[in-house]
Amino acid sequence: MTGARPYRTAYVNARLLDPASGLDARGSLLTEGETIVGRGPDTLADGIPDDAAVVDCDGLCLGPGLVDMRVHLREPGAEHKETLQTGGAAAVAGGVTSMVCLPDTDPVIDDAAAVEFIARRARQIGLTKVYPYAAATRGFDGQHLAEMGLLAEAGACAFTDGARTIADAQVMRRALTYASTFGLLIVQHAEEPSLAANGAMTSGALATRLGLPGIPREAEAIMLDRDVRLAEMTGARYHAAHVSTASGLAVLRKARERGLPVTCDTAPPYFALNELAVGDYRTFAKLSPPLRAEEDRLAIAEGVRDGSIDVVASDHSPQDQDSKRQPFAEAAFGGAGLETLLPVTLQLYHQGALDLLTCLERLTVAPARLLDLPAGTLEPGTPADLVLFDPDAGWRVEADDLHSKSKNSPFDGMPVQGRVFRTVVDGRPVFTGEAR
């Protein structure tokens, strides 16, 4: 009916968590249409509107939907591994309401039409919101810069060659120079490619015992050191993806101490697992960068705790069975991570390393601010993207139960705590929890 009030939903009896404002309090939240219109201990003090649907949160945590800034979606080109539909289903099951997809599709996302295709398909599916990265170099050739200005106008939120390193220093210098002119962000998979070539797991005694070629931890630190110097030379914003080593993190800490606009993220495997997860050639634990030694795992966990690592992202990298059921050295890199992003990150809360609000901050407002996305907060007037979860509810990760088309979770079989009961995008419930 023309002029009718948008639908309203009242979330009552909630523990409201809003890292953007520091809110952690019992209270209620009211949405109207696609927007949050009120939240706090006094919201709905005068009663629930007659026309509002009511969701009794029963004391569970209600926070902004997660913002996952590193997701491989595989569509177009490798739909047998993942599609925007199945990736979206996995995302909302994990409480992710905004995700940023990498440009390593076929064709590569290196022109405006490809950027617009991703946005259009995500809207048609109507699950999580999807924001694309665009390639930094055309076709990931590592030599010729993509049309960053046009791609940014089309909706690309940052520029990266995905899981490929921009190895040529002159090309990276030109990319950073161009990006600095227009205030754009360059995201790098930091790994010196000649050192990492043909490697299957992190170098060390375990790789030697298993007879597997190693990837030295220095490959990360060397590339980060070069890139930080180039960022300082050009004045550009630079972001290091999935940092995995103590030495690499040390390079970034020193850069930040000098005031450089350098940021980074990591993924849950790098603070929750170490190289021992490879076990006897367990290909689900073959990741890029590889799982590292225990001292690196501890350093990454400390980096998340002290804020040296800005963001925790899933690095969701789905692979089909044929790609993983190979001898370890030939198997594909990557692990599915959308549905385990929240519970594995909550390990840091349960271990006492982070309070719950800070833990949620690394997953919501921090990536949203970094990429200038309209997400990550419960402030009135912002999109009603919400997650209702119980941080203490335990369950066991069973790869076959994941919503992702691919089941290659490095956490398969692991007991975790943190269960999503409801995910809301633009005021619409898109996931309601199922019994584990």
In the numeric block, which tokens belong to residue 224?
């980060």
Integer Cα distance of 131 and 156 in angstroms: 7
Integer Cα distance of 179 and 230 in angstroms: 12
Contact 224, 253 (CB under 8 A): no
* Cα separation values, 387 from 14, 53, 76, Å: 11, 17, 28
124 C-beta neighbours (distance < 10 Å), count: 9
Phi and psi (nearest 5°) for 6? -60, 150
Ramachandran area for residue 67 (φ above 0: left; ψ -120 to 50: alpha; else beta): beta
Instruction: Please count the CA atoms within 13 angstroms of the CA of 26 that sit on its side-chain side.
Output: 5
180 C-beta neighbours (distance < 10 Å), count: 18
In the numeric block, which tokens belong to residue 434?
């199922």
Number of H helices, E strands in the chain: 15, 18
Query: Tokens 């800070």, residue?
Result: 358
Q: 367: closest CA among 19, 17, 40?
A: 19
Q: In which order are the strands placed within the sheet that holds 185-188?
A: 159-160, 185-188, 237-240, 262-266, 311-312
Contact 397, 347 (CB under 8 A): no
Amino acid letter, residue 228: V
Of the candidates 68, 265, 315, 412, the residue annotated as catalytic is 315
**Known catalytic residue at 46:** no
Q: How far is CA 130 from the centre of its chain?
A: 12
Integer Cα distance of 19 and 376 in angstroms: 8
Integer Cα distance of 145 and 159 in angstroms: 10
**Enzyme catalytic residues:** 315
